[in-house]
């Protein structure tokens, strides 16, 4: 049986989430009403996965999470509201060690909480499979120091020498921070990222990355030129494509393609780049995440002469997306996340 501890101060939320999980038949559910209650229960029930609310009395979710990571390290999925305040707290949780998050639809007390059932169950099963490896090999990422970073002005040119594309999902924010903060201010290619994430989260995520990266980081909330010196984060709840406009390469945010399962779609992003650039000028990176988004398009890129990197199992929170690329024969190299930035620099500088 898979053991899950649900931590939420709302009795109604605990009831609904418990019912959703127990319907699976192979999930044993325990509940806690606040962070302190959770810490008291963890040694007794030894859950494989914990779902954790943020706003709770007695002990809030972030304080509880810091104790879990220190005393009882295991996969924690944050369940938070979709407000901007909730998004900020969620990213603090990811920095503290949470592996993923699921937005509560409709606010803190969500009467439509059952809408997240498929996503919640899929993520719980995915991170539970990685518990043993994750506990032993978890990368402790320190919260970036509040320092002033002098950034080079993006080089505005009529064309770009190439493009780095990065796709990721579950566990992606931490992996992206690990890579993007290592890129120097004179990195010679623009970077475009498709991270599966809601729209309210991508805006906050881009702003947080901009504080710690040496390159400028912006969300693609309108057509933006691809230019050296910038990292662009695809807007959540939408897709992103590379287009040609007036002789320049531009990242364009578009309505979600309903035929695709994940958004922003990595496959759609990579395929659009192949229409605008020589494959040999594209580098694609497949990071942690569930499913196979990006694997087919990156394999095609690899076949056409582009270069591809898959994150290795040793650091991937969920090995699904990188494994799909590797098994299709589409990865030039397989690297742990902390070595990917060095490879990008080696290939381009």
In 10 A of CB 44, how many CB atoms? 8
Q: Answer yes or no: 140 catalytic.
A: no
Whole-number Å distance between alpha carbons of 266 and 282: 14
Whole-number Å distance between alpha carbons of 19 and 268: 36
Q: Which residue has the tokens 């005393």?
A: 71
Q: Answer yes or no: 169 catalytic.
A: yes
Preceding amide of 264 cis, omega within 30: yes
What order of strands is seen across the sheet that includes strand 333-335?
A: 216-220, 230-234, 191-195, 163-168, 282-286, 307-311, 333-335
Based on the number of CB atoms within 10 Å of its own CB, is 276 exposed (0-12), middle (13-18) or buried (19 or more)? middle
Residue 208, helix vs strand vs coil? helix
Whole-number Å distance between alpha carbons of 43 and 32: 13
Residue of 37, 100, 130, 196 marked catalytic: 196
Task: State the number of CA atoms in the 13 A half-sphere of 49 facing the CB.
Answer: 25
Residue of 37, 272, 293, 302 marked catalytic: 293
Q: Distance from first CA to last CA of the chain, Å, rounded? A: 50
Is-contact 53 8, C-beta < 8 A? Answer: yes
Q: What tokens does 48 get?
A: 């494989």
Q: Answer yes or no: 293 catalytic.
A: yes
Residue of 81, 169, 272, 312 marked catalytic: 169
Q: Is the dihedral of CA 211, 217, 220, 222 positive or negative?
A: positive
Q: Is the dihedral of CA 310, 316, 320, 321 positive or negative?
A: negative
Among all residues, which ones are annotated catalytic? 169, 196, 293
């Amino acid at each position: 049986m898979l053991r899950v501890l649900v931590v939420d101060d709302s009795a109604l939320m605990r009831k609904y989430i418990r019912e959703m999980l127990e319907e699976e038949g192979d999930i044993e559910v325990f509940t806690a009403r606040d962070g302190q209650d959770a810490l008291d229960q963890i040694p007794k029930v030894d859950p494989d996965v914990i779902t954790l609310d943020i706003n709770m009395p007695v002990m809030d979710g972030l304080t509880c999470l810091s104790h879990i990571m220190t005393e009882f390290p295991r996969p924690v999925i944050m369940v938070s509201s979709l407000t901007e305040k909730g998004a900020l707290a969620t990213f603090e949780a990811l920095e503290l060690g949470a592996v993923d998050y699921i937005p509560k639809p409709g606010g803190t007390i969500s009467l439509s909480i059952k809408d997240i059932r498929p996503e919640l169950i899929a993520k719980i099963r995915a991170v539970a499979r990685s518990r043993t490896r994750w506990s032993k090999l978890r990368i402790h990422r320190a919260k970036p120091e509040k320092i002033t970073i002098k950034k080079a002005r993006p080089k505005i040119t009529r064309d770009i020498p190439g493009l780095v594309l990065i796709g990721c999902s579950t566990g992606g924010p931490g992996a992206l921070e690990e890579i993007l903060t290592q890129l120097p201010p004179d990195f010679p290619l623009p970077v475009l990222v498709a991270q599966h994430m809601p729209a309210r989260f991508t805006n906050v995520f881009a702003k947080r990355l901009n504080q710690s990266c040496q390159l400028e980081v912006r969300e693609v909330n309108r057509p933006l030129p691809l230019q050296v010196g910038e990292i662009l984060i695809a807007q959540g709840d939408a897709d992103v494509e590379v287009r040609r406009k007036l002789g320049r390469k531009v990242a364009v945010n578009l309505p979600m393609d309903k035929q695709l399962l994940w958004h922003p779609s990595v496959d759609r992003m990579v395929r659009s780049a192949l229409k605008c650039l020589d494959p040999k000028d594209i580098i694609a990176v497949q990071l942690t995440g569930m499913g196979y988004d990006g694997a087919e398009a990156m394999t095609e890129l690899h076949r056409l002469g582009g270069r591809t990197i898959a994150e290795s199992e040793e650091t991937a929170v969920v090995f699904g997306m990188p494994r799909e690329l590797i098994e299709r024969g589409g990865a030039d190299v397989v690297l742990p996340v902390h070595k990917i930035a060095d490879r990008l620099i080696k290939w381009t500088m």
